């Protein structure tokens, strides 16, 4: 088949915040997005279960012709990226909470990190924090319930605002000047976060950096352009929230997911 197909997966719709940046940077590529809606959220699950699900999805994406996979989920990256890299002969790009840029830029010597339990438990987070943030204050918080709100299409609700306030208010008391979004679902809350946080706080979403890294891996030089690029969206559950958020992204950011298709595919 002519043209690159990039596989992107997440426990649900969160990875759309990464897919959006990938399409913005590489509109000539085709994409297959897999949302494991049926098994969402991954955050509270044990790592063996997340590894099992990540392998099943990876095999599905490879069968569909994907030659590079972006794990657009911090929790799945934390649990499974080493194993996936060791078991499948294609490049994997993963997510990691952007602690490093926040730690290097903070003036108050205090940063906030919001992520899932699985991400905080992971080796990547532990290593990055001890390497770059050992001499600053890191106010970290598990964002319980936030992923579910995004999946229910409630990222702009009063319920979301109340829950976010509960999580960020203690961080404000610690004078954070950066808030790291360590879960790909959370950028859907940026409009609300901008309302409840002082303007001086930088909200860091690592998705643009991950898109750049994917671009470097694919290589600009001999990129084999697809004649008719497409974006296929698979979900192991309902595709309704995917459809709604895809159309919101298209309207809000003038990005077009070309020749798109939505398919329900139970794992």
| Residues labelled catalytic | 73, 183
3-state SS assignment for residue 87: helix
Cβ nearer to ligand DGL, comparing 110 with 119? 119
CB 151 to ligand DGL: min, Å: 8
CB 107 to ligand DGL: min, Å: 28
Stretch that binds ligand DGL, among 6-14, 154-162, 209-217, 227-235 (CB under 6 A): 6-14
Candidates 47, 75, 155, 236: give the one binding ligand DGL (CB under 6 A). 75
Q: Find residue 103's DSSP bridge partners.
A: none
3-state SS assignment for residue 214: helix
* Whole-number Å distance between alpha carbons of 167 and 210: 26
Site for ligand DGL in 92-121 (CB under 6 A): 95, 116, 119
Q: Is 237 in the site for ligand DGL (CB under 6 A)?
A: no
Candidates 74, 110, 235, 241: give the one binding ligand DGL (CB under 6 A). 74
Candidates 14, 112, 122, 206: give the one binding ligand DGL (CB under 6 A). 14
3-class SS string, 6-40: EEEEECCCCCHHHHHHHHHHCCCCEEEEEECHHHC
Q: Is 210 in the site for ligand DGL (CB under 6 A)?
A: no
Q: Is 43 in the site for ligand DGL (CB under 6 A)?
A: yes
Q: Which two tokens stand for residue 50?
A: 């997340």
> What is the spatial order of strands in the sheet that 30-35 belongs to?
92-93, 68-71, 5-10, 30-35, 231-235, 261-264
Q: Is 54 in the site for ligand DGL (CB under 6 A)?
A: no
If we measure between CA atoms, which residue out of 23, 3, 126 comes closest to residue 65?
A: 3
Q: List residues near ligand DGL by CB under 6 A.
A: 10-11, 14, 40-43, 73-75, 95, 116, 119, 147, 183-185
């Amino acid at each position: 088949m002519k043209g690159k197909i990039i596989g992107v997966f997440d426990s649900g719709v969160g990875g759309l915040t990464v897919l959006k940046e990938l399409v913005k940077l590489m509109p000539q590529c085709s994409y297959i997005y897999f949302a494991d809606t049926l098994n969402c959220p991954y955050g509270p699950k044990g790592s063996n279960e997340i590894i099992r699900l990540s392998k099943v999805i990876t095999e599905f994406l490879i069968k569909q012709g994907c030659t590079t996979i972006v794990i657009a989920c911090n929790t799945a990256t934390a649990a499974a990226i080493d194993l996936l890299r060791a078991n499948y002969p294609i490049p994997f790009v993963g997510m990691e909470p952007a602690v490093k840029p926040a730690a290097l830029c903070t003036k108050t010597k205090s940063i906030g990190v919001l992520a899932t339990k699985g991400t905080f438990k992971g080796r990547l987070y532990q290593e990055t924090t001890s390497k770059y943030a050992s001499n600053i204050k890191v106010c970290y918080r598990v964002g319980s319930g936030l992923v579910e709100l995004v999946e229910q299409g409630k990222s702009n609700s009063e319920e979301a605002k109340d829950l976010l306030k509960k999580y960020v208010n203690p961080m404000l008391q610690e004078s954070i000047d950066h808030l790291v979004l360590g879960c790909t679902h959370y950028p859907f809350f940026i409009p609300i976060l901008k309302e409840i946080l002082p303007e001086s706080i930088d909200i860091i979403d690592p998705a643009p950096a991950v898109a750049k890294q994917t671009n470097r891996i694919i290589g600009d030089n001999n990129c084999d352009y697809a004649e008719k690029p497409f974006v296929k969206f698979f979900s192991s559950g309902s595709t309704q929230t995917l459809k709604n958020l895809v159309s919101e992204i298209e309207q809000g950011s003038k990005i077009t997911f070309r020749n798109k298709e939505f398919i329900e595919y139970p794992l």
